[in-house]
């Protein structure tokens, strides 16, 4: 029977089932929010050293310390945020908290009248970035369909560990 089926319609036997390669709307939403938040951060942070030095009279050492402490804070918080996300399993709440902190810090840059206020706004912004990073990435991995995990997919690199045959 199989040989007869192969002779009459071999494509039907060898054809793979259709695979849905569409990206889920949740991933699109996270991507757009992330793009907009990163754009707003880059707009502010690219002008921040000029603002600090010209308007507030900060030295290069002060600007370097603010930037270094802020970026270090983001990286340290990201480690704990990722572990907390895995432990609690509440990725969406952590990501929203991170985005909320970062959004609340943006107006502080506009009303900053001292280096201390800029430093506070920068730290709050980077804490928000650290909190949202790992849970957002894990949320995207959770939302990704199995077909997006194939090596031929554009989504394969970020999720290769989750989607590997050994995971």
Cβ proximity of 132 and 102 under 8 Å: yes
Taking the C-alpha atoms of residue 129 and residue 163, their distance in angstroms, rounded to an integer, is: 25
57 domain residue, yes or no: yes
Tell me what pLDDT residue 18 has. 60
3 domain residue, yes or no: no
Q: Is residue 21 over pLDDT 70?
A: no
How many helices (H) and strands (E) are present in the chain, helices listed first? 7, 0
Cβ proximity of 94 and 81 under 8 Å: yes
Cβ proximity of 130 and 98 under 8 Å: yes
Tell me what pLDDT residue 146 has. 76
Domain count, the chain: 1
Which has the closest alpha carbon to 65: 52, 78, 79? 52
75 domain residue, yes or no: yes
The beta strand positions in the chain, using DSSP E, are none
Sequence-separated (6 or more) residues with CB below 8 Å from residue 138: 82, 85, 86, 91
Tell me what pLDDT residue 152 has. 45
Tell me what pLDDT residue 5 has. 53
Which has the closest alpha carbon to 99: 45, 74, 136? 136
159 domain residue, yes or no: no
26 domain residue, yes or no: no
pLDDT in tens, 136-163: 999 999 998 876 665 444 554 554 455 5
49 domain residue, yes or no: yes
126 domain residue, yes or no: yes
Q: Is residue 31 over pLDDT 60?
A: yes
101 domain residue, yes or no: yes
Q: What mean pLDDT is predicted for residues 107-127?
A: 96
The answer to whether the pTM exceeds 0.85 is: no
In angstroms, the Cα distances linking 55 to 40, 105, 141 are 21, 19, 43
pLDDT in tens, 42-89: 999 999 999 999 999 999 999 999 999 999 999 999 999 999 999 998
Domain that holds residue 46: 41-143
Which has the closest alpha carbon to 37: 111, 119, 94, 104? 104
Cα dihedral 125→54→69→106 (10° resolution): 0
């Amino acid at each position: 029977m199989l040989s007869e089926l192969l002779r009459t319609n071999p494509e039907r036997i060898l054809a793979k089932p259709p695979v849905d390669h569409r990206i889920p709307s949740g991933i699109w939403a996270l991507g757009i929010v992330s793009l907009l938040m990163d754009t707003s951060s880059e707009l502010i942070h690219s002008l921040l050293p000029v603002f600090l030095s010209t308007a507030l009279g900060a030295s290069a050492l002060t600007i370097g310390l603010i930037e270094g402490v802020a970026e270090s804070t983001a990286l340290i918080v990201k480690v704990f945020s990722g572990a907390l996300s895995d432990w609690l399993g509440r990725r969406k709440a952590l990501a929203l908290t991170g985005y909320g902190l970062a959004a609340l810090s943006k107006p502080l840059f506009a009303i900053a009248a001292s280096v201390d206020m800029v430093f506070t706004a920068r730290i709050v912004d980077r804490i928000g970035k650290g909190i949202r990073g790992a849970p957002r990435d894990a949320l995207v991995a959770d939302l990704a369909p199995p077909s997006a995990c194939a090596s031929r997919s554009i989504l394969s690199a970020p999720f290769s560990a989750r989607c590997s045959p050994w995971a």
